[in-house]
């Protein structure tokens, strides 16, 4: 043991690539593997914390190579030799080291893991709660309609009570047909969540919302129907009061959330740790949403369990989190340690605490 003080001595990186059960397609791109960079932060007292960051070229604007480069050249030099007990200053330095949110998230999650280990409590307790189980929806990517219907039936048979359907990949008429057909196949008790991933203009989205509402299906919300910067469009759709509107790509940090909340532009906000740069900013966003009466969802990219475990912990202990979309657990061919699955229920033990 190099010393008794909790000083950051070394930060090691390891690329991860986990093949998916099947390709996953949205209106923006197709993904075939859960790619991530694992981060191991070593303290001089021998403690090691683990985290991971997942890049997404169309959402966070990064790749595996840029993520690793930013970690090596910007983030790691800013933190080596720092005392983890100087927590607020440490997080400030981390968030100022780069603009690449997955890089920040990867290290911040490792630091939270370290902090929990330093005081010998689970991450959930560090975040303020004891609950360790959440119920997730399951997402159906854009593909041939018979394949989407087959997936819907399979997910329902496994106990999922909510299906998230990707839309916006072509004609609105095709989207409406997908939603109607999947809803019929799934049954009336299954909640539907639609995600357009910025695919529509405001005018197109107004038509889509009107026609989807007319179907009178059990739709929880339409997620990011217009471009991320189109706050006016989100506000217009929300003011229609026909279907709840959720922001995703529009919100990375607290200021993004505040911009939408202050003009009552959305009903819900999707919090993803890869967008927020980790747990600290996520907590600020959730608290701001709660103060405006706006509930949140905790979602994810297609990630490894090293970042999904803290996402589950965050969702489990924050009362304002109403929806959970952490289905990446089920998308990889080889199941990973750290998360127990029972149908749609995800349970973490002692999050990343025994690693």
The annotated binding site for Mg(2+) is made up of 195, 223, 248
Hey, which residues does 342 pair with through a beta bridge?
Answer: 345
DSSP at 4: S
The residues near 343 (Cβ < 8 Å, ≥ 6 apart) are: 158, 159, 160
Which of these is catalytic: 117, 166, 206, 275? 166
Annotated binding site: 195, 223, 248
The helix/strand/coil state of 336 is coil
HSE of 54 in the Cβ direction (CA atoms, 13 Å)? 24
Residue count of the chain, please give it: 355
Strand-pair partners of 246:
223, 268
133-135 and 345-348 strand pairing? antiparallel
Q: Would you state the structure tokens that stand for residue 303, as one six-digit string? A: 């990630």
Query: Which of the following is catalytic: 117, 164, 272, 275?
Result: 272
272 is catalytic: yes
| Annotated catalytic residue 117 | no
- Retrieve residue 187's tokens: 């049954």
Helix or strand holding residue 114 (H, E): helix 101-118
> What residues are labeled active site?
166, 272
């Amino acid at each position: 043991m190099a010393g008794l003080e909790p000083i950051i001595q070394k930060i090691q990186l390891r690329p991860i690539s986990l093949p998916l059960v099947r390709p996953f397609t949205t209106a923006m791109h197709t993904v075939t593997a859960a790619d991530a960079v694992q981060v191991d932060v070593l303290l001089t007292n021998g403690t090691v914390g683990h985290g991971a960051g997942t890049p997404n070229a169309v959402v966070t604007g990064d790749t595996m190579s840029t993520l690793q480069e930013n970690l090596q050249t910007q983030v790691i030099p800013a933190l080596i030799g720092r005392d983890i007990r100087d927590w607020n200053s440490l997080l400030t330095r981390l968030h100022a080291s780069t603009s690449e949110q997955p890089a920040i998230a990867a290290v911040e999650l490792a630091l939270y893991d370290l902090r929990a280990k330093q005081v010998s409590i689970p991450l959930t307790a560090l975040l303020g709660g004891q609950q360790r189980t959440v119920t997730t929806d399951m997402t159906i990517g854009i593909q041939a309609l018979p394949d989407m219907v087959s997936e819907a039936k399979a997910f329902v048979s496994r106990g999922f009570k909510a299906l998230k359907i990707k839309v916006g990949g072509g004609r609105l008429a095709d989207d409406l047909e997908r939603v109607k057909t999947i809803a019929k196949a799934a049954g009336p008790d299954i909640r539907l969540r639609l995600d357009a991933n910025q695919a529509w203009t405001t005018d197109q989205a107004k038509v889509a919302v009107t026609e989807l509402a007319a179907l009178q299906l059990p739709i929880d919300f339409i997620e990011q129907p217009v471009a991320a910067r189109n706050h006016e469009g989100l506000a217009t759709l929300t003011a229609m009061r026909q279907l709840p509107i959720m922001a995703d790509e529009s919100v990375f940090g607290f200021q993004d959330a505040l911009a939408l909340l202050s003009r009552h532009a959305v009903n819900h906000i999707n919090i993803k740790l890869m967008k927020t740069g980790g747990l600290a900013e996520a907590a600020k966003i959730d608290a701001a949403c709660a103060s405006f009466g706006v509930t949140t969802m905790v979602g994810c990219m297609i990630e490894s369990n090293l970042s999904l475990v803290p996402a589950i912990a965050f969702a489990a202990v924050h009362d304002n989190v109403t929806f959970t979309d952490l289905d990446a657990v089920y998308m990889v061919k080889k199941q990973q340690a750290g998360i127990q699955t029972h149908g749609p229920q995800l349970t973490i033990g002692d999050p990343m605490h025994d690693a």
